Amino acid sequence: MSRFYRSARARLIADDSGQAAVELAFVVTLLLILLCASIDFGRALYDLQVISELSRQGSNMALRGGTGSQSCDSLCTAVTAVVNGSSSLNLASNGKVIITSLTETLSGSETVGPSGGPYTISEQKVSSGGISATSKLGTTVGAKVTLTGAPGLQNGQYLYVTEIFYTFTPATGIGKLTNNAIGMPSQLYDIAYF
């Protein structure tokens, strides 16, 4: 091999090593951003699943605790149980639990009210502390509300609705920067009724 060929080949190899380092830096940066965004998105999905389960348990517990009465004890106990059962989320400081008792006023000929309401708010209990949030159903006892998809009620029956608000905080620094860019809300919400 000629000397010229060897020296030209050595220069090309030297130039390629710098190009590979630059390409690696770009790829690693992009992969790190995607990894951090994936971690935070996965955490948000997990937290939303936990909130969904807690809201169902809260409504179920309020239903089992109260036998058609408007006892504060059943709603207060259910709110406290949901807050205490959320150890991984810490709803006491990062969230708000609202349990509402609804009833339906029937006319003399009806045995079951129309599904979806209108219902009347008969009682509402809110967890103390946490974040500032108000019920999306309403807060005034005696107010009329509709709840799409909810069943019709008979006289004396109650519908218990649990709402959970939770402030989601990304775990990674890049996740905090991309939180708005990828469309993750900073406050998660779920509602369930029994």
Q: What are the residue ranges spanned by the domains of the chain?
A: 3-193
Per-residue pLDDT, 68:
42
Per-residue pLDDT, 165:
94
The CA–CA distances, whole Å, from 18 to 7, 9, 29, 31 equal 18, 15, 17, 20
Residues of the chain with pLDDT under 70: 1-17, 66-73, 174-184
* Three-state secondary structure string covering 54-109: HHHHHHHHHHHHCCCCCCHHHHHHHHHHHHHCCCCCCHHHHEEEEEEEEECCCCCC
The CA–CA distances, whole Å, from 163 to 26, 54, 149 equal 44, 9, 16
Per-residue pLDDT reduced to its tens digit, 167-182: 888 887 766 665 555 5
